[in-house]
Structure 1
Amino acid sequence: MATDPADDAWLRELLLHGDWPADLRHTGETAAVLAERDPAVDRTGGATRALLAALDDAWERGWQPADVVHVIGRGATARARTLTLALIAEDARVRDAASRAPEGWLEQLRELGALRPGDADVVGVVGAWHRAERRSAADAWRVVLVLASALRRLARIEQLVPPPSRWGPGTGGTGPAGAERTRTPDDGRVLRRIRGLLAKAESSDFPDEAGALTAKAQQLMTRHAVDAALLDAEAGPSAGAGIGTRRVHVDDPYVRAKMQLLGAVADANGVRLVWYQGLGIANLVGAAPDLAAVELLFTSLLLQASRALASAERDAGRGAASRAFRRAFLLGYAHRVGERLTAARERATTQAAAERGADLVPVLRRRAEAVDAVVTELFPRVRSSRSRGSVDGGGWYAGRAAADRADVGPRRPSVR
């Protein structure tokens, strides 16, 4: 009788060192062999252990839970997403992430639904996934092969959060650039108000109402950023600059154009952006409450841009706009939104300075310098880039016009 592959060192070698593209016939042939030898799929847990080892290697190379799920969910490995989530949940359980992981890691686990108590068994993760998905044994083994190969091929990226190997006993950690400013109850209140305003804007069928709500959200962001910068300045240099990091994931299509929109929102709010081409992953560096607010506003504006694009297509009598038109629309939208957000930030800062009778320029300059210093520390080889290639003129100007209608700045005559 053949040796069960789940107990076989050969299986671990196959998964951790084999290259299994999803579209090659050889992958299917190997999956068929595995199915014949182990039709129950990972009966004794060898595949699960190998995949958890591959996941552990990914953590050491700078990847975080949400990063892995995002990349696995793209392209040929999309069918492996549910298995990836199950493995991440098991990894969190085994490592006692609930009491040991840094807050940023925990937040991702919560959002992914991968931080839950239970009696999960490391032996049964792949097998349980196979039974729940009701796949054939051959199909399940093919997904396992492709997932193992995808995890192994993940390139090394910057380590923004300590991996599990650096977690202490029952304590959270901090990123390599130092601790973030401790969040205050006011941070939470402001973020809830911003989230509520943007949710109303997204659900509104009236552009003027949506624009007014978005404008109010941006105003809150700016005023809170000024307050936070003043608090940090009063605390003195010993309190640190209060700078943290966050990753944002951007899906296809038109990733580069969407990154331009995220960059515009980030720039207007004192946050730096570094992104990995080909992965759809952006790294944001800035004050902790600013990072959360930027992500919220970007997500809302992206939804508003999608609606505006659909409207522009109808107005132009286009059944289905070309890719060039859509890309140019998003680029034009991003460019104009950036202009309006920057103007709104400058106006709100001037108003805050007048109310406080203080010169905020030195305070905000020190905050910007602190952000730049962290970017240099974390991304020493970063280089700036600009969108290249021709742009559809109609799409560009339609996007700018839509951004004007979004009315993201405070509604005052001086905006126009």
Structure 2
Amino acid sequence: MIDDAWLADLLRHRAPRLTDAGAAAELAGVLSARGVPLDEDGVLTRTLLAALDETWERGWQPADVAHAARRQAGAGSVPLLVALVAEHARRSDAVSRAPEGWVRQLRELGALDADPPAGALACTVVAAWHRAEQRAPAEAWRIVLQLTGVLRTAARLELLVPPPSRWGAPRARADRPAADGDRALRRIRGLLAKAESTAFPEEAEALTAKAQELMTRHAVDAALLGDGTPSGIDVDARRVHLADPYARAKTQLLGAVAEANGVRLVWYQGLGIATLVGVRADLDAVELLFTSLLLQVAHALAAAERQDGRRSGSRTFRRAFLLGYAHRIGERLAAARRRATEEAAAEAAAERGADLLPVLRSRQAAVEARTAELFPKVRAGRSRSSVDAGGWYAGRAAAERADVAPRRAPLR
């Protein structure tokens, strides 16, 4: 006989076994065959919400758990995860209590769009999801079991923002006029979106160059307006989620962009998550440029495969192409950084009578200090695996054609 106590014990104490897709599917088949109703009395919802609370306390944020659910339990688990996050946000009054970054992630996931459950169904999020998705009982059980395993076994991460247990009292979030920096970022995003959608390479290059010029000016102006002391520099940390395939190669590209902009990167290989540490304006710039380069390299890879007559299933060629592309992009950005430092320093001295170099050094020192504080035991790593030579050199050649204009000043 399967009762609530047995099921609750299974979900809480045997979670590591549930992370295995085969084991979860086998148990789901048994539960379905025995006609066990899916969350009839809310025990599954209560268990999953409790697991979600524990995950927050271990340093995870809404976008992190959505990424982990998709990666480990499959895309079919994401709607259930979002429904649970939405219910947690409703119960915790996240909109008026959570940090701004947390609320932004909720909005991006669509967790603020769902209507709250009503009446007696308020505790049965899983049952409501099952009715909406109309999945076969065995598949629904498999998703619930595997998602429980993902949440229960989530590793401890560095705490970048306060978890719900540390949120303060509700507060009003008054609408405010867009700051100059917000307006600049909107213009940058708009230019890159046009660059990525146009079919004309010359237009894409011009739009991307203009976006990079705005990013550079935005960062330099922020550096000159600051007080120049580490305590007055706004250093932040945020996570970037890298999906398979070729997550490691994509991380190499992200690392190249980050290093050229004075941002530090720490990579959780087993999770497909990278943490970036840097001045906020620089983090925004790195994410924007990285996203644009990802789209560019995808187009370049497809063209290289067509030209070489290679089949799309050639994983070794694709991986090597991405690594070669990332390596050459890093070289180009490093050279641009050296040139831009000299040009920006000369311009600041001539036009403002300011010495830019000490300001940039202070910003970098603040970034290094924050990285050491968050990751005191981190160590440098380097990939030693072999790569396909043809793919590597094809990737480097594509990087030569990438829209990365010389910067007037480093984003440090």
The TM-score with structure 2 as length reference comes to 0.90
Q: Distance in 2 between matches of 1:168 and 1:322?
A: 52
Residue 203 of structure 1 aligns with which residue?
Answer: 197
Residue 380 of structure 1 aligns with which residue?
Answer: 376
Contact 2:196–2:292, Cα closer than 8 Å, also in 1: yes
Contact 2:61–2:102, Cα closer than 8 Å, also in 1: yes
Q: 1:142 Cα shift?
A: 2.3
Matching of residue 130 in structure 1 with residue 130 in structure 2: yes
Q: Distance in 2 between matches of 1:298 and 1:128?
A: 38
What SS does the aligned partner of 1:382 have?
Answer: coil
**Offset from partner CA, 1:79-123 (integer Å, 9 cap, x none):** 211111110111111100000001111111111011247432541
**Offset from partner CA, 1:212-236 (integer Å, 9 cap, x none):** 32222222222221211222235x5
Residue 224 of structure 1 aligns with which residue?
Answer: 218
Q: 1:282 Cα shift?
A: 0.6
**Offset from partner CA, 1:236-286 (integer Å, 9 cap, x none):** 555x32101111001111111100100111111111111101111010111
Residue 325 of structure 1 aligns with which residue?
Answer: 317
**Offset from partner CA, 1:45-95 (integer Å, 9 cap, x none):** 111000000011111111111111101101444321111111011111110
Where do 5+ consecutive residues of structure 2 fail to align? Answer: none
Contact 1:15–1:148, Cα closer than 8 Å, also in 2: yes
Residue 88 of structure 2 aligns with which residue?
Answer: 91
Supply the AA of the counterpart residue of 1:157.
L
Shift in alpha-carbon separation, 1:138–1:396, aligned structure 2, 3 A: closer
2:290 to 275, 280, 298: 298
Supply the AA of the counterpart residue of 2:128.
A
Equivalent residue runs for 1:199-278 within 5 Å:
199-233=193-227, 236=229, 240-278=232-270
Where do 5+ consecutive residues of structure 1 fail to align? Answer: 173-182
Shift in alpha-carbon separation, 1:336–1:213, aligned structure 2, 3 A: farther
Q: 1:296 Cα shift?
A: 1.3
Query: Share of identical aligned residues, percent?
Result: 64
Shift in alpha-carbon separation, 1:171–1:350, aligned structure 2, 3 A: farther
Q: CA RMSD in A?
A: 2.4
What SS does the aligned partner of 2:226 have?
Answer: helix
Matching of residue 344 in structure 1 with residue 336 in structure 2: yes
Residue 43 of structure 2 aligns with which residue?
Answer: 46
Contact 1:219–1:345, Cα closer than 8 Å, also in 2: no
Q: 1:411 Cα shift?
A: 9.5
Matching of residue 282 in structure 1 with residue 268 in structure 2: no
Shift in alpha-carbon separation, 1:27–1:311, aligned structure 2, 3 A: closer
Contact 2:216–2:407, Cα closer than 8 Å, also in 1: no
1:82 to 69, 79, 91: 79
Q: 1:194 Cα shift?
A: 1.2
Equivalent residue runs for 1:86-125 within 5 Å:
86-116=83-113, 118-120=115-117, 122-125=122-125
Supply the AA of the counterpart residue of 1:219.
E
Contact 1:49–1:122, Cα closer than 8 Å, also in 2: no
Q: 1:32 Cα shift?
A: 3.2
Q: Please identify runs of 4+ aligned residues in structure 1 that moved more than 6 A.
A: none
Residue 154 of structure 2 aligns with which residue?
Answer: 154
Residue 175 of structure 1 aligns with which residue?
Answer: none
Contact 2:83–2:114, Cα closer than 8 Å, also in 1: no
Contact 2:73–2:143, Cα closer than 8 Å, also in 1: no
Contact 1:336–1:400, Cα closer than 8 Å, also in 2: yes
Size of the aligned set, in residue pairs, is 396
Q: Distance in 1 between matches of 2:125 and 2:215?
A: 43
Q: Distance in 2 between matches of 1:111 and 1:25?
A: 32
Q: Distance in 2 between matches of 1:219 and 1:267?
A: 18
Residue 68 of structure 1 aligns with which residue?
Answer: 65
Q: 1:407 Cα shift?
A: 3.2
What SS does the aligned partner of 2:265 have?
Answer: strand
